[in-house]
Amino acid sequence: MLNVPSQSFPAPSSQQRVASGGRSKVPLKQGRSLMDWIRLTKSGKDLTGLKGRLIEVTEEELKKHNRKDDCWICIRGFVYNVSPYMEYHPGGEDELMRAAGSDGTDLFDQVHRWVNYESMLKECLVGRMAIKPAVLKDHREEKKVLNGLLPNSQVTDALAKEDPSSPSYDWFQTDSLVTIVIYTKQKDISLESVIVDHQDDSFRAETIIKDYSYLIHIGLSHEVQEDFSVRVVENVGKIEIVLKKKENTSWNCLGHPLENHNSFIPRKDAGLYYRKCQLISKEDVTHDTKLFCLMLPPTTHILVPIGQHVYLKLTITGTEIVKPYTPVSHSLLPEFKEPVLPNNNYIYFLIKVYPAGLFTPELDHLQTGNFVSVSNPEGNFKISILQELEDLFLLAAGTGFTPMVKILNYALTSIPSLRKVKLMFFNKTEDDIIWRSQLEKLAFKDERFDVEFVLSAPTSEWTGKQGHISPALLSEFLKRNSDKSKVLVCICGPPPFTEQGVKLLHDLNFSKDEIHSFTA
Ligand code: FAD
Ligand code: NAP
């Protein structure tokens, strides 16, 4: 709903559009691409019919605007006239009409909560809802100065009994250091669980606890140095963030609360936070795919969990465009060592550049030293499903290989029970195979790993496997060690490839718990 970026991909004629379920993707008319929409929004045309006025919209008023040619939708308390956007919506008019004259926040979140609709639809803004819609969260702010007391967390009323209990925080200081301690009251906490950003005097630490987000957001009372450290005491679920004071003076209080400070809300309701990262290098990997290296600011602590993705954001002709990408390791082999650079805060992406795409050509035009915004991680893959695994099967198509990179590295280095990892990698031609020589070297060096390439458009010289994902290919490839062995199949690629693969896996008697499919 209201998504623009990835829904316009792939092309209408492509097989990838033949989705067997889920969202319908409709071909857009000529002149109705995202770029055309951006041009229209910049044309100065009155898209709301209100001549630039913003109004307060009552629920009764909203309900009246429920026709294609007069369609208002509320998202997070803001009302948009989406009629002019109808023909540009890659998910189709009918999907947009599902929210006509109503609060579409939940529908929007179900599909792509990360899409930057504020920027996409800013010229369609009619105004605010006059009364607060139910989905708006109550983020009452503490007005008191943060002086080390433990205020009660602001927890949404919706928290059910089995949900994690509310975290809290405290702080203490020495002459030169300030330590902020977060008590998560959970045991499965790691360095990946906390994302810290501090800029000037603003300090932000988001802790992910199960499916919830706990935010510390403070305007610090004194200046601190750029670098800081994060420690986790796993068995008690305690996180310590140690800041270095700029001046060795005693602080009377930590600072003042900023937006949503001390809130504990479902992760899906927490907005995505972005920080600017610098492009360090861009290396050709295939004719159209490049390895991008970005450097996180020294004021950020973020470790993207294996199998999760982030969103990259660029402003394209004045509109913020956001697309998801999955960080990879620098290589599959230890001999391709990471370049030794002044600090080790790098994040790598394998990204295919589509000449007619919206986002990737812009990304490709960035020069070393330019900036791109990177969000906090998202995704539902948990490495705990790899524990005690014996057989791991990876089915990847095109850049669907990206989540497999870290999974493969982790499985081969950190899962002692692992017997076999097999990758079946689907591509159009030999030239499209990402890191082919690394994969072949890895298979040669580590007898637990096998790779098979399957090409859909090979040259006549190709002697390997051909075609698309099929029962014949899978049944031959997915041989369990024994009926009782613990198995996982991971699958990622164009959505119809993934949907078809999952169906085939069920037909081959793999259970739900034995399959992880990567989707947006
Ligand atoms: P788009 O503008 O989306 O276009 C892509 C192609 O479709 C182009 O060839 C374009 O010509 C064609 N097209 C688009 N609209 C139309 C139309 N209306 N008519 C005809 N043709 C059209 N990609 C990676 O490379 N690496 C990753 O690590 C990665 N991780 C991802 C993780 C997730 C969770 C998801 C969901 C996707 C991921 N992707 C990844 C894909 C990525 O998010 C983008 O979809 C991709 O980069 C294309 O973006 P684009 O804006 O350049 O192209
Ligand atoms: P591609 O090169 O176009 O296709 C790779 C292979 O998949 C080709 O052999 C292709 O065959 C085949 N294929 C395409 N559609 C198919 C279908 N409907 N059924 C069976 N096989 C099909 O792929 P790409 O351009 O790299 O795109 C990769 C996709 O992966 C994108 O959609 C991207 O969004 C997605 N992705 C998702 C995630 C994630 O969710 N975490 C991560 C990374 C990438 P043909 O020659 O017939 O096209």
pLDDT surpasses 80 at 359: yes
Helices (H), 339-401: 359-365
Nearest-angstrom CA–CA distance, 489 and 514: 6
pLDDT tens, 73-109?
999 889 999 999 999 988 888 989 999 999 998 888 8
Longest alpha-carbon distance in the chain:
75
Top mutation candidate among 13, 326, 359, 399 for ligand 2, by most atoms within 8 Å of CB: 399
Ligand closest to CA 498:
2
509 CB-near residues (< 8 Å, 6+ apart): none
Give helix then strand counts, H and E, for the chain.
Answer: 10, 30
Mean pLDDT within 346-363: 95
pLDDT surpasses 50 at 1: no
Confidence band of 235 (pLDDT split at 50, 70, 90)? confident
123 CB-near residues (< 8 Å, 6+ apart): 41, 45, 47, 48
Q: Indicate the residue type of 82.
A: V
pLDDT of residue 2: 33
- Tell how far the Cα of 112 is from the centroid of ligand 1, in angstroms: 15
pLDDT of residue 204: 97
Ligand closest to CA 14:
2
Counting atoms of ligand 1 from 1, which one is nearest the CA of 33?
A: 18
* Residue whose tokens read 């379920």: 21
- Tell how far the Cα of 211 is from the centroid of ligand 1, in angstroms: 28
Ligand 1 pocket by Cβ (under 6 Å): 5-6, 8-12, 28, 33, 309, 323-326, 349-352, 354, 356-360, 399, 402, 520
The number of angstroms, rounded, from the C-alpha of 76 to the middle of its chain's C-alpha atoms is 20
pLDDT of residue 337: 58
Answer whether 373's CB lies under 8 Å from 313's CB. Answer: yes
Mean pLDDT within 230-237: 88
- Tell how far the Cα of 408 is from the centroid of ligand 2, in angstroms: 19
Q: What letter does residue 235 receive in the DSSP assignment?
A: G
- Tell how far the Cα of 131 is from the centroid of ligand 1, in angstroms: 38
Cut 0.85: pTM above it: no
pLDDT tens, 460-480?
999 999 999 999 999 999 988
Ligand 2 pocket by Cβ (under 6 Å): 15-16, 18, 309, 326, 352, 397-400, 402-403, 426-428, 432, 456-457, 468-469, 492-494, 496-497, 500, 518-520
- Tell how far the Cα of 152 is from the centroid of ligand 1, in angstroms: 44
pLDDT tens, 181-226?
999 988 888 999 999 999 888 999 999 998 899 999 999 999 999 9
pLDDT of residue 15: 31
Which residue minimizes the CA distance to atom 7 of ligand 2? Answer: 397
pLDDT of residue 462: 97
pLDDT surpasses 90 at 166: no
pLDDT tens, 103-162?
998 888 877 767 778 888 988 999 888 865 444 444 333 333 444 333 444 444 334 445
pLDDT tens, 34-76?
888 888 988 888 998 888 788 888 888 999 999 999 999 999 8
Confidence band of 164 (pLDDT split at 50, 70, 90)? low
Mark 245-259 as b/e (b = at least 16 C-beta within 10 Å).
beeeeeeebbbbbbe
Counting atoms of ligand 2 from 1, which one is nearest the CA of 15?
A: 18
Counting atoms of ligand 1 from 1, which one is nearest the CA of 323?
A: 43
- Tell how far the Cα of 517 is from the centroid of ligand 1, in angstroms: 18
Nearest-angstrom CA–CA distance, 520 and 325: 10
pLDDT tens, 383-420?
999 999 999 999 999 999 999 999 999 999 999 999 99
- ∠ CA 152-157-163, rounded to 5°: 85
- Tell how far the Cα of 42 is from the centroid of ligand 1, in angstroms: 24
Confidence band of 25 (pLDDT split at 50, 70, 90)? low
Highest mean pLDDT among 44-48, 235-239, 314-318, 386-390: 386-390
Nearest-angstrom CA–CA distance, 181 and 171: 6
- Tell how far the Cα of 492 is from the centroid of ligand 2, in angstroms: 8
Counting atoms of ligand 1 from 1, which one is nearest the CA of 13?
A: 20
pLDDT surpasses 50 at 17: no
Ligand closest to CA 495:
2
**Higher pLDDT, residue 273 or 136:** 273
Ligand closest to CA 493:
2
- Tell how far the Cα of 371 is from the centroid of ligand 1, in angstroms: 20
Top mutation candidate among 285, 323, 456 for ligand 2, by most atoms within 8 Å of CB: 456
